Every structure is written in structure tokens, then in C-alpha cells.
Amino acid sequence: MKLFSFSRLGKASGQTIAVCDIGSGSVAVGIVTVNPVGKTSVLVSERRMLAPEERAKKQIVEQLKTLAQETAAAVLDQHAKRGGASPSDVIAIVHAPWVRSETASGSQQFDKQMPVTEAMISDAAKSAVREETKLDTANIFERSVMRVALNGYPTSQPEGKTSSRIDISVLQSDIKPEVLSAMKEALGSVFVGRTITFESAFFAF
């Protein structure tokens, strides 16, 4: 699980990646390629949905697990029949109500202008998320620095610059553990041996 990621997935140039979209009652799976400039092309995709009566059942997580496994298997089979390269990685994008996201903000003040380092940014991010949160801290699965400002001015490349104040915003998300476990098992049984990276829909887009 990634904590304090400074880059988004999807920049894996030249790779073939499986992307799985887990909704409240649906699953979509696609095989995409990423070219050297970061543009993605969808090679094959399919979305399947649970029937309304299935969504109301207490066993909805098990229903989604089966749906994810069947959809992923069908898409991978279509891709293989077209002679496509096997996906090197799997990205699972999870939507509400299975995940919750919030933004935490913090700042650090220094006595003088200081060269900003990655360690300083990391410390500021950690201090920001120490505040009270409505999330389940035991099941937080992503934290990502979304915005950094030096002396009040936003910057996408803070390292190496000088500043007497760092303001930072961090996105963090939790996930229902039963959903995480179910999707790991379902997708892992299809994309055997591949790394599965989970992201909230907010972070992914």
C-alpha cells in the first residue's frame, strides 16, 4: 500500500496495464496501453452490473467478488485471443461506499529561509494527518500530497527551493477491509503474480 505517493499511476510508459473499476454495484475491467508521453489507449473493456435485487442483499461483497473475477477473466480472455501482451500491473479503482476520502492540511514555519528537501515535505505531510479524522485509521490505504505552497505560493516542485513556511494538503482514504480482501482474492486469481494497486476514485481521477 502506498503512503504519501508523489506521483499518479498511469505514467508507466510502454506498459500494458489492467484497470478495474469497482462501483457500488458494478465492475468494469479494461486492458490499456500507455505510450511514452503518458497517453492511454483502451484495447478491450467490459462492464457488468449486479441486478437490483442482488445489490440489496447482505452478501453484496461476495456478489461483487464473483462479478469482479468473472469480468476480469472474460476481458483477459478476449485480450489473449487478440494476441495482446499480458498486463504487467493491475490498478483497482474503488468508489464509494467502499472507500471514503478526505483532505488534511497543515503547515510548518521556520525561523529563516531554508532549502526545502523531500524529508521536510514528508514531515509536513505527516504532521498534517495527525489531526482528528473521521476515517478508520487502521484501514487507510492511500495518502498523497496534493498541494504544496512555499511562502504562500503553490508549487509543483518544492524540493530545492528556499522557504520559511510550508503549507501542505494531503488526500487520505480508507477502505472497507472486507472489500479490499475480496477484490485482492478475485483479481489475484485472474491476474496471477501481478501487483495489484488500489486507489480511490478521487485519487485516480
> For 21-32, how does the pLDDT look when each residue is reduced to its tens digit (9 = 90+)?
999 999 999 999
Question: What is the pLDDT, as a whole number, of residue 88?
Answer: 92
- Measured in degrees and rounded to the nearest 5, phi and psi for residue 75 equal -70, -45
Contacts of 39 (CB under 8 A, 6+ apart): none
The pLDDT value given to residue 72: 97
**How wide is the angle at C-alpha 92 spanned by C-alphas 59 and 72, nearest 5°?**
70
Judged by DSSP in three states, 152 sits in coil
pLDDT of residue 6: 35
Q: Which pLDDT does position 70 carry in this prediction?
A: 97
- pLDDT at res. 202: 80
The pLDDT profile of the chain, 205 residues, written as one tens digit per residue, is 333 333 344 455 578 999 999 999 999 999 998 877 778 889 999 999 998 877 776 789 999 999 999 999 999 999 999 999 899 999 999 999 999 999 989 889 999 999 999 999 988 888 888 766 889 989 999 988 899 999 999 999 999 999 999 999 999 999 999 999 999 999 999 999 999 999 998 877 6
H or E element, residue 119: helix 118-128
- Judge whether 173 and 99 are in contact, CB under 8 Å: yes
Query: Whole-model pTM?
Result: 0.82
What integer pLDDT is reported at residue 205 of this predicted model?
60
Q: According to the model, what pLDDT value does residue 135 have? A: 92
Look-up of cell digits 490498478: 91
